[in-house]
Amino acid sequence: MGNTFRGKCVADGIRVAVVAASFNELVVNQLVEGAEDALERFSMSECDMDTYWVPGCFEIPQTVSWLLEQGGYDGVLALGCLIRGETDHYDYLATEVTRGLGSLSTVSEIPVCYGILTCDNLEQALHRAGSKSGNKGAESMQALIEMINLTAVIGGEVEDVVEDGEES
């Protein structure tokens, strides 16, 4: 039986960028607050989170790409909210933003995590941004923290092996 590797949910000393869409800002503000809370909750030391606001979700992948090229971050989190309307615009945006971020995540040496809500209506979005369904901004930040730590394990920077099904 081989080893099991898992990134710890510990944010000590990490530096992250959040790219947030201003469109549907009522919802996205709650996602950003959830991400900030998660970073603080999983940190035992000083962490840095820079937030870059862009006009809408379509601009997120390009901004993430610029930040990856610039360097200086351990991970990047994309936060936004797309709400279905009466036209096909929603479908095109959701597809292209997801494709763009997915492509970036496969070529980047640092983790890129997806925290973009795709909802049928504002009520659904608000539920996912902190009410009935938890806060997807917080959940996405937790995923980013785990991926940052797993990247360090895979890169040989730290040894973090889980033995016999126990978490390390």
List the catalytic residues: 89
Strand (E) positions, the chain?
A: 4-5, 15-21, 48-54, 75-83, 112-119, 161-162
Which of 40-54, 83-97, 109-123, 146-160 has the weakest average pLDDT? Answer: 146-160
Res. 164 pLDDT band, cuts 50 70 90: very low
Ordered by start, the domain boundaries in the chain are 9-150
Model pLDDT for residues 130-156, shown as the tens digit of each residue: 877 789 999 999 999 999 999 999 987
Q: Is the pLDDT of residue 11 over 50?
A: yes
Enter the pTM of the model: 0.91
Tell me how crowded residue 22 is: count the other CB atoms within 10 A of its CB: 14
User: Which residue did the predictor score with more confidence, 7 or 79?
Assistant: 79
Q: Is the pLDDT of residue 163 over 50?
A: no
What CA–CA distances, in Å, run from 57 to 69, 86, 115? 20, 18, 11
Task: Tell me the CATH number of domain 9-150, given options 3.20.20.140, 3.30.910.10, 3.40.50.960, 3.10.180.10.
Answer: 3.40.50.960
pLDDT at site 160: 57
